[in-house]
Amino acid sequence: MNKKLYVISGSSGVGKGTVLKGFMAKNPDFMLSISCTTRKPREGEIDGVNYFFLTREDFQDCIDNDKFLEWAEFAGNFYGTKKKYIKQCLEEGKNIILEIDTKGALQVKKQMPEAVLIFICPPSYEALENRLRGRHTEDEETIQKRLNEAKTEIERGKQFDYQVVNDNLEIAIENLEKIINGERNNA
């Protein structure tokens, strides 16, 4: 069967991770791509599971050697998806989901027009701010940076193939499933 690459973006605090987790729990034949980042691991994050944690030098080396399908700077750190990793997953017939920022998603679409871009939106900007602050994982400076990024991301999200509003978690998961099942049946 023809495997497609699904790319999911949403601004920080939109609950994208929770929607995706709910989707993955119901669809165990899907796997999340593991990205590279220069960000420090958060508590409980494991190298090679949540991310491949790289030094700036190693990340730069991958950029210079054209190893990334896409990469982006986000809130002061670099994030990227390795070409070889994605190629291998698709060749192995895996249903793979990339959870990346909007800039990276649009880069993927340019290189792989068959990729399906799905944007998870907050019900409102205020709802997004509340969620981000309620998480208590970042300091004020980081929150401000992320809120600024969020505005830009919501604008870019308008260019995506699909938008899913995360107001009610169960409905958001259902809508995501409908989109992906529809695309799978069209493959």
Interface contacts to ligand 5GP, rule CB under 6 A:
12, 35, 39, 70, 72, 74, 79-81, 99-101, 104
- Distance of closest approach, residue 57 Cβ to ligand 5GP, in angstroms: 18
Q: Which residue lies nearer to ligand 5GP by CB, 96 or 99?
A: 99
Q: Which residue lies nearer to ligand 5GP by CB, 63 or 182?
A: 63
Q: Which residue lies nearer to ligand 5GP by CB, 60 or 182?
A: 60
- Distance of closest approach, residue 48 Cβ to ligand 5GP, in angstroms: 14
- Distance of closest approach, residue 55 Cβ to ligand 5GP, in angstroms: 16
Q: Report the residue closest to ligand 5GP, judged by CB.
A: 104
Q: Which residue lies nearer to ligand 5GP by CB, 151 or 182?
A: 151
- Distance of closest approach, residue 134 Cβ to ligand 5GP, in angstroms: 15
Output the 3-class SS for the chain: CCCCEEEEEECCCCCHHHHHHHHHHHCCCEEECCEEECCCCCCCCCECCCEEECCHHHHHHHHHCCCEEEEEEECCEEEEEEHHHHHHHHHCCCEEEEECCHHHHHHHHHHCCCCEEEEEECCCHHHHHHHHHHCCCCCHHHHHHHHHHHHHHHHHHCCCCEEEECCCHHHHHHHHHHHHHHHHHCC
